[in-house]
Amino acid sequence: MPDHFLHITDLTADEIRAVFDLAATTKARFRARDDWRPLQGMTLAMIFAKPSARTRVSFETGFHRLGGHALYLGPGDIGIGQREAVQDIARVLSRYNDMIMARLFDHSHLLALAEHATVPVVNGLTDYNHPCQIMADMFTIGEQLARRSEVHIAYIGDGNNIVNSWLRLAARLPLRLALACPEGYRPDAETLALARAAGLSEISVTADPKEAVQGADIVYTDVWASMGQKDEAEARRRAFAGFTVTPELMAATGRESLFMHCLPAERGFEVTDEVMEAPYSIVFDQAENRMHVQNAIMLTLLGKG
Ligand code: CP
Ligand code: NVA
């Protein structure tokens, strides 16, 4: 296991599978309300430069339920890279805490945090990627479909941080990843090349959502304007016309597919209310599994797995 969890490709395929196995155990124990406190006496510093519901609550609740204590440090508290240099924050927090989780804008700040921290650092989302989310999503797919390879995932929307993590997962586990993104909003070319170079997964990129969803087990989408891009929302709504996941697009898969979204959703834009509320929507299972998969990642990094 690496010292930090910054990208899915920090893990080998075997390590990814081991995290999923441990997550199944932590989930069962959480649901049974087992009195299991492997993190007793430990603290987690959580740095948030951006808003959050799921990430904050799942990390804080998860760390607490495993016996530890998590501290929330919001945008007004630390001012990473502004009030104080990243390398200084890394060393200060490492003197008090057993682990650092960070949600930042600039991915290079996360890399610097990990370089200078003397405790494990976990990525809670950057502009570049969101590895905890996609690990939880793949765990959820395994629960639903009882397989984690050769799953056909159609991603419809912005070639953003979520896509970069899907691509990095595709460099470790064999997937069929069909990405439909408007021109100008395609995924990061280097990450796409990295995923293709691994030679494990079948990866396609198109501007036609109907083409991407054909035969898909999973239809996945995310907001058109991510955190930090909300002032582009109007322009993006025009660029993403025709990319809404509707019941018609779900039917175009030609099979009984599941709908996934990392949330928060902007209902009526990238997805309709009807799809969000449909029996095939597993968005809240994904949200629930964030905590169990993150618990497994943290236990493993802390040598308690
Ligand atoms: N999916 C996710 O990371 O949600 P939050 O932004 O609410 O943490
Ligand atoms: N792409 C979204 C994901 C939110 C969990 C964002 O970065 O805002």
Tell me the backbone φ, ψ of residue 246, rounded to 5 degrees.
Answer: -115, 170
132 in active site: no
What distance in angstroms lies between residue 136's CA and the mean position of ligand 2's atoms?
A: 15
**What is the block-wise mean pLDDT of the chain (305 residues), using blocks of 10 residues?**
95 98 98 96 98 98 98 92 94 98 98 98 98 98 92 98 98 98 98 98 98 98 97 97 98 98 98 98 98 98 94
286 lines ligand 2 (CB under 6 A): no
Q: Which atom of ligand 2 is nearest to the CA of 161?
A: 1
Indicate whether 136 and 185 sit together in one domain. Answer: yes
d(CA 175, CA 166): 9
Residue 228 and residue 94 share a domain? no
Q: What is the pLDDT of residue 1?
A: 81
- The CB-side HSE value for 289 (13 A sphere, CA atoms) comes to 27
Q: Of 95, 56, 97, 50, which Cα lies nearest the Cα of 75? A: 50
Domain that holds residue 180: 131-286
Q: In angstroms, how far is CA 60 from the centroid of its own chain?
A: 17
Between CA 257 and CA 254 the distance in angstroms is: 8
Q: Which residue of the set 262, 282, 291, 301 is catalytic?
A: 262
Hey, is 146 helix, strand or coil? coil
> Is ligand 2 within 6 A of the CB of residue 127?
no
Same domain, 88 and 145: no
Q: Are residues 176 and 293 in the same domain?
A: no
Contact predicate 157/221, CB 8 Å = yes
Residue 158 and residue 19 in one domain: no
Q: How many domains does the chain have?
A: 2
Alpha carbon nearest to ligand 1 atom 5, residue: 52
> In ligand 2, which atom is closest to the CA atom of 133?
5
Q: Is-contact 98 43, C-beta < 8 A?
A: yes
Could you tell me if the CB of 261 is within 6 A of ligand 1?
no
93 and 227: one domain? no
Atom nearest to 125 CA in ligand 1: 3
Distance CA 278, CA 98 (A): 41
